[in-house]
Each structure stands twice: as C-alpha cells, then as structure tokens.
C-alpha cells in the first residue's frame, strides 16, 4: 500500500474543522478516491460513498431542496446498506464536478455538522458556471497530486531514516558519499520514467518492468483522452489534445517558453488559450509565468503572455517522448535540449507538489534566464537547473544584479558552495 502525505492532511482537517466540508482537487487517477476511502474506513465507524461519474442517477439526491435533512433522506433511498452515525460518519462525494448542486449543498451539510463530508473532483474549474453558489466559508480546499519524489522513495523502500540521513548532507552543505549519491541519482532517474501515478508505481513495484510501466502510462493517457471527449465541447477536443501533445516539443526548444505556433502553424492565443486553460483546470498541466523583475512579491510582476507549460506528472511527460527516450534517460545517455527541458519539468514536479509557487525570469535582452524563482521570508530565491554539470553564467549575473541571500544550482554532480551560490544534486530539490 502506497504511503501518501495527504493522509496526515486529512487527519488534520478532521481534528480542526468547524462546520467545514473538505474539497480535494486534482487530476484523474492520482489516488484521490483510494486515499479518501481508506481514510473513511479507518477513521469512522460509518462510511458512505457516492460517485456521480459512475452512478449519474445519484445526482437526483441533490435535486430540489438542499436542506441537510432532505439530502440525508434521499441518500438513504439511493445508496444501499448505509447507516448514519452522528459525528462518526464520513460521506464521500466523488467526482463532484458532475453534480454542481452537490457542490452548492456543501454549505448546508457543513452548517448541519452531524456528519463529516469530503468531496473530490478532477474538473472543478470547468464547471463553476453551472453552480448556483460556491460554499465560501464552508469549504476547505486541498490540492492533491500524484506521488512526489519523497513518496516515491518511500515506495522504493527508502524510509524516513534514510531520507533524514541524506538531509544532513543538505543542511551541512557537505558532499554526499559517492555510493549514496549514485544510488539516489539512480532513483531519481527511475522517478523520471515511472513518475508518480499510483497505478504506474504499483506496476513497477510488482514487476520491475519498465515496459509494463510504459504500457500503464499509455493506458492512463487514453483515459485522459476519454475525459477530453466527455467534458470538452466538440470544437475544442482536438485542440486540447494538440496543446497537450505539443509540450514535449515545447520543452525540447532551447528556450522552453510555450509558443502557440509549436502547436500548429496557424497557432495563436485566440485559437488555443481556452484549451490551455482547460488542461490547467483538469490538473493535467501547470503554468509558470515569467516576471518583468525578480522582486517580491513576484505575482505583481508576472507577464501573463509569457509562460512555460509543464506536465503535472513527470512519468507521463517522459512517456509522451516514447519508450526509447525513457530508456536513454534511465541509462543517462540522452543528450540535446530535450534533456534540459525534461529535467526542468522534473524539478517543477518536485517543487510544485510540495506547495511551491514558482515563476521564472528571462530578461528583455534574452541574455539571462533563471529556470525558477520562489519567495522565502520576503526574499526572491533563484533556482537554476542543469541536467549535467556546467557553467552558470545567468545565475552568476543574477547574484551580481539582485543579491539574493542564496541561490541554488541543481546538477547531476555533488554538493558545493561558492559564496551565496549553493550547488546541489538534483535529488536535493526534495529539501529546498
């Protein structure tokens, strides 16, 4: 059974909530249903599951009156073999995007407060116009992703003690023992290929067969295409898929900024912008915006027309390049700009899943590019990503121009310190 950090977050919600339902958001097949069902079974004496995608007839529960008592009556009519235990029952409303009235009803269920309610959804941003009211103040939201790198390490048998020992090298800025370093670089390359989708990780644990993992990723991609057919309007379907499938080409450029002309020759913002927003709302990609100046607060200086698009699971990204590319990543023999873009997406994956808000910086003269910026204690911290060891002219210039308290260079090599610049192995993005 895969260990997930979100379980602790679910426990925290249960212990601290006051008239508040929980809404868990994230892409399809990242493990939302599994972990919430496990939580319901382990933490409550009664657990009630309603899935609006699998059982569309259950939408009728939320037709008409949304008073809590009426909803409970209808649940007892539509869902078999249930019981309501006051203050010890979890009601789980899965795929709530398919029933906008249920989202509105969260307010009334929260006010009633007899039973705990968790909702989850994958396409919530696509359905907000259909809702009569969003339950502001009665709904705590929680973002969920596929397994992050630390959760992947747990799955691979690296416990918290081993990861804690590795962290001491990071904290003391000491070089990692060469054997340990090679071991964790090998695990990182496995994460590049397997990624964090629970089904792919479980297949890998069971078979140790990368071809089985690739077949599983292709199956997941097919289910995503089915979601596009199910949820997107007919004129947008092909354009959404074209945008998603262009990301490997976007990241293989020397400058990985998203360009509509890479999607198609006639591509422009008017034609494809809504399609990108659809992919973001579905949790399949995330955007990282350029800033005009790397100053706090970064959001005040974002350039909305200049952004990079990253796939939210690194294994799904590398599967888009094909199995042969995955094999070269495992053997560490891939060269060229594509490798740099893949490692960019890897670091984005590692940081965004830990709650980082990220931007990037490329100056107007195109002479300086920093892959990622984040803020800490009111300071802007630059992160440069190198798929191999090499010079860091842009980072050196950034240090001279803006004087951040520290700057990170992530490489395939070992730990090193030069003034405010800290060189770290790529796997240590885990500890930033």
Task: Please indicate, yes or no, whether residues 54 and 168 belong to a single structural domain of this protein.
Answer: no
Q: Which domain holds residue 56?
A: 6-143
Q: What is the pTM of this model?
A: 0.94
Q: What is the pLDDT of residue 128?
A: 45
Instruction: Look at residues 2, 32, 35, 119 and name the one whose alpha carbon lies nearest to residue 71.
Output: 119
Q: How many domains does the chain have?
A: 2
Q: Are 411 and 426 in contact (CB under 8 A)?
A: yes
264 with 225, same domain? yes
Q: Are residues 128 and 173 in the same domain?
A: no
CATH number of the domain where residue 129 is located: 3.40.50.300
Do 226 and 336 sit in the same domain of this protein? yes
Q: Are residues 336 and 192 in the same domain?
A: yes
Question: Are both 214 and 172 inside the same structural domain?
Answer: yes
Say what the pLDDT of residue 126 is.
Answer: 58
pLDDT score, position 122: 84
pLDDT tens across 134-161, in order? 777 899 999 999 999 999 999 999 999 9
Residue 298: inside a domain: yes
Query: Are residue 80 and residue 53 in the same domain, yes or no?
Result: yes
Residue 361 and residue 322 share a domain: yes
Kindly report, residue by residue over 172-189, the tens digit of the pLDDT: 999 999 999 999 999 999
Structural contact between residues 202 and 352, judged by C-beta atoms closer than 8 angstroms: no
Which segments of the chain have a pLDDT < 50?
127-129
Q: Are residues 114 and 155 in the same domain?
A: no
Residue 177 token pair? 């023992």
Asked whether residue 278 falls in the same domain as residue 342, the answer is yes
Let me know whether 317 and 365 are in one domain: yes
């Amino acid at each position: 059974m895969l260990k997930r950090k979100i379980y602790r977050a679910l426990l925290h919600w249960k212990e601290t909530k006051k008239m508040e339902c929980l809404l868990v958001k994230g892409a399809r097949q990242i493990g939302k249903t599994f972990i919430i069902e496990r939580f319901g079974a382990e933490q409550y004496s009664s657990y009630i599951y309603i899935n609006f995608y699998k059982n569309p007839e259950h939408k009728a529960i939320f037709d008409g009156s949304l008073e809590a008592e009426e909803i409970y009556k209808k649940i007892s009519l539509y869902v078999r073999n249930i019981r309501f235990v006051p203050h010890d029952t979890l009601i789980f409303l899965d795929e709530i995007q398919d029933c906008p009235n249920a989202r509105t009803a969260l307010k009334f269920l929260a006010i009633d407060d007899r039973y705990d309610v968790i909702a989850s959804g994958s396409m919530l941003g696509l359905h907000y116009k259909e809702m009569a009211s969003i339950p502001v103040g009665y709904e705590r939201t929680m973002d969920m992703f596929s397994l992050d790198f630390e959760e992947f390490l747990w799955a691979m048998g690296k416990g918290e003690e081993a990861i804690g020992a590795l962290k001491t090298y990071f904290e003391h800025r000491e070089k990692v023992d060469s054997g340990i370093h090679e071991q964790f670089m090998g695990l990182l390359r496995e994460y590049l290929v397997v990624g964090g989708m629970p089904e792919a990780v479980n297949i890998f644990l069971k078979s140790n067969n990368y071809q089985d993992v690739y077949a599983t990723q292709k199956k997941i991609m097919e289910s995503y295409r089915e979601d596009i057919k199910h949820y997107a309007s007919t004129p947008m379907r092909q354009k959404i898929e074209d945008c998603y499938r262009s990301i490997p080409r976007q990241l293989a450029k020397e400058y990985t900024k998203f360009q509509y002309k890479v999607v198609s020759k006639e591509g422009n913002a008017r034609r494809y912008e809504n399609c990108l927003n659809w992919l973001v709302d579905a949790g399949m990609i995330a955007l990282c915006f350029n800033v005009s100046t790397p100053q706090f607060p970064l959001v005040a200086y974002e350039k909305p027309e200049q952004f990079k698009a990253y796939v939210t699971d690194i294994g799904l990204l590398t599967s888009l390049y094909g199995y042969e590319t995955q094999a070269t990543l495992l053997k560490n023999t891939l060269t060229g700009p594509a490798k740099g873009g893949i490692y960019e997406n890897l670091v984005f994956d590692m940081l965004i899943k830990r709650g980082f808000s990220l931007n990037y910086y490329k100056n107007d003269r195109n002479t300086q590019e920093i892959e990622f910026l984040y803020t800490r204690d009111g300071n802007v911290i630059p992160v440069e990503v190198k798929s191999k060891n090499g010079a860091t002219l842009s980072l050196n210039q950034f240090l001279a121009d803006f004087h951040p308290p520290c700057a990170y260079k992530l490489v395939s090599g070992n730990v090193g310190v030069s003034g405010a610049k800290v060189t770290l192995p790529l796997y240590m993005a885990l500890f930033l």
